[in-house]
Amino acid sequence: MTTAKLLFDNQEYDFPVFEGSEGEKAIDFTKLRAQTGAVAYDPGYGNTGSCKSSITFIDGEEGVLHYRGYPIEQLADQSNFVEVCYLLINGELPTQDELADFQHRLTYHTLIHEDMKKFFEGYPPSAHPMAIMAAMAVSLSAYYPDLEDPEGIDLNIIRLLAKFKTIAAFAYKKSIGQPFIYPRNDLSYTADFLHMMFAVPAEDYQVSDVLTRALDLLLILHAEHEQNCSTSTVRMVGSSRANLFASIGAGVTALWGPLHGGANQEVINMLQMIKDDGGDHRKYMDMAKDKNSPFRLMGFGHRVYKNFDPRARILKQAADDVLNELGVTDPLLDIARNLEEIALNDSYFVERKLYPNVDFYSGIIYRAMGLPTNMFTVMFALGRLPGWIAQWKEMRNDPETRINRPRQIYTGATERDYQPLAQR
């Protein structure tokens, strides 16, 4: 099969068909409008392949997720976040020397320019840390020029990866009115982040191994997910040749929404609401199914996964393990388990293939780690950063990249004459 035939207005048109490396078929409609005069209508781009990409493979029917060909289960079990960053951005797993060098560079670029600290002072304590993250990501471009050569791009990528976690921790410290804690070069990426988050000058803070491992797992599971809303945003902004920092800042804001990365915060708010309302989760299940109610079961459903989300499966187990290891009990975990059990046996959810997504259990682990709810989406952003970067880099190097500029079907008023105000 090399062509697809389209019968339109009594005329037949041929369009090339091609296949991805895992057998996914695509009809190339690049010339659809030029040949037929019509455009493809696909709101939400659910059927639109916006690019060719060799970074992530998802089979939503089978619950499969691969980063650069490696199953997520293997990476979650055996790798660590820094190695996954390297893999996503460079395409291959690093050798020992390559990993050591990468880690070294990530360690020695963690400081942000001292002037940038003043930006944090301008925000009210109630500012959502995602607002600060987005502004700071874009602001990095004021300090580090847009470099076009491969070495320069690589340097800015290292800077962004290294500084993003400093910015995230500073945003948290700002929100609780504590002094910023500077990065430490003797700690791993995740341990250093925890140190900047939770250390206080008056005390000797020891980074816990349990927390470091839990965080590493969470970051790996969030690291990349092909053309989701925020990643497509990064690519779209980057397609205009906007610099890396500006493109990533746009990704942060896209992630913030409650239907995307903001869902992890919403899940905890929802579970808390159910608990405060007496724990009657069945009432909320009914509301989620009621089309007259705006309530949705947050952390449920996914555009691509129609069987199960492999990340949610890993996190459900991790939530049990981490809470056990930390000796924490959380009534919200019981409510979450009950909701899941009912939903998996309820025809509304079964027929619509709605399963827990990555956000359903992640918030419970973040809570057990001592992170406040409004930092959950920041944690998602920290995890997703290497994915955004890898996609931005791939987009930049792809000779087929054109400025992203979809068409529309105009449904407004047809041409009419302007009426002066006095005659209206």
Name residues contacting ligand ACO, limited to 367-396 (CB under 6 A). none
In angstroms, give the least distance from the CB of 171 to ligand ACO. Answer: 21
Minimal CB distance to ligand ACO: which residue?
Answer: 301
Exactly one of 158, 160, 297, 378 binds ligand ACO (CB under 6 A); that residue is 297
The stretch near ligand ACO (CB under 6 A) out of 98-106, 110-118, 291-299, 323-331 is: 291-299
| CA separation for the pair 407, 112 (Å, rounded) | 40
Exactly one of 113, 296, 337, 396 binds ligand ACO (CB under 6 A); that residue is 296
Name residues contacting ligand ACO, limited to 32-51 (CB under 6 A). 44
204 is catalytic: no
Nearer to ligand ACO among residue 249 and residue 363 (C-beta): 363
Binding mask 229-268 for ligand ACO (x = CB under 6 A): ------------------------------xxx-x-----
66 is catalytic: no
| CA separation for the pair 34, 134 (Å, rounded) | 38
| CA separation for the pair 320, 328 (Å, rounded) | 10
SS3 405: coil
Question: Residue 308, class by beta-carbon neighbours within 10 Å (0-12 exposed, 13-18 middle, 19+ buried)?
Answer: middle
How many residues make contact with ligand ACO (CB under 6 A)? 19
In angstroms, give the least distance from the CB of 288 to ligand ACO. Answer: 4
In angstroms, give the least distance from the CB of 358 to ligand ACO. Answer: 5
Of 109, 117, 124, 249, the residue nearest 181 (C-alpha): 117
Nearer to ligand ACO among residue 291 and residue 416 (C-beta): 291
Of 338, 358, 342, the residue nearest 350 (C-alpha): 342
- For residue 6, list its beta bridge partners: 13
Tally of CA atoms within 13 A in the half-sphere of 344 that contains its CB: 11
Q: Tally Cβ neighbours within 10 Å of residue 74.
A: 11
In angstroms, give the least distance from the CB of 55 to ligand ACO. Answer: 17
| CA separation for the pair 315, 357 (Å, rounded) | 10
Binding mask 332-361 for ligand ACO (x = CB under 6 A): --------------------x-x--xxx--
- Residue 407 interacting with ligand ACO (CB under 6 A): no
- Residue 301 interacting with ligand ACO (CB under 6 A): yes
Residues in the chain: 424
Q: Tally Cβ neighbours within 10 Å of residue 209.
A: 10
> Which residue matches tokens 């471009």?
141
Nearer to ligand ACO among residue 111 and residue 350 (C-beta): 350
Structure tokens at 84: 């996954």
Nearer to ligand ACO among residue 107 and residue 362 (C-beta): 362
Q: Which of 302, 321, 334, 417 is catalytic?
A: 302
* DSSP letter (8 states) at residue 111: P
| CA separation for the pair 98, 83 (Å, rounded) | 10
In angstroms, give the least distance from the CB of 406 to ligand ACO. Answer: 17
- Residue 303 interacting with ligand ACO (CB under 6 A): yes
Q: Which amino acid would we find at residue 312? A: A
The footprint of ligand ACO (CB under 6 A) covers 44, 259-261, 263, 288, 296-303, 352, 354, 357-359
> Which are the catalytic amino acids?
302, 359
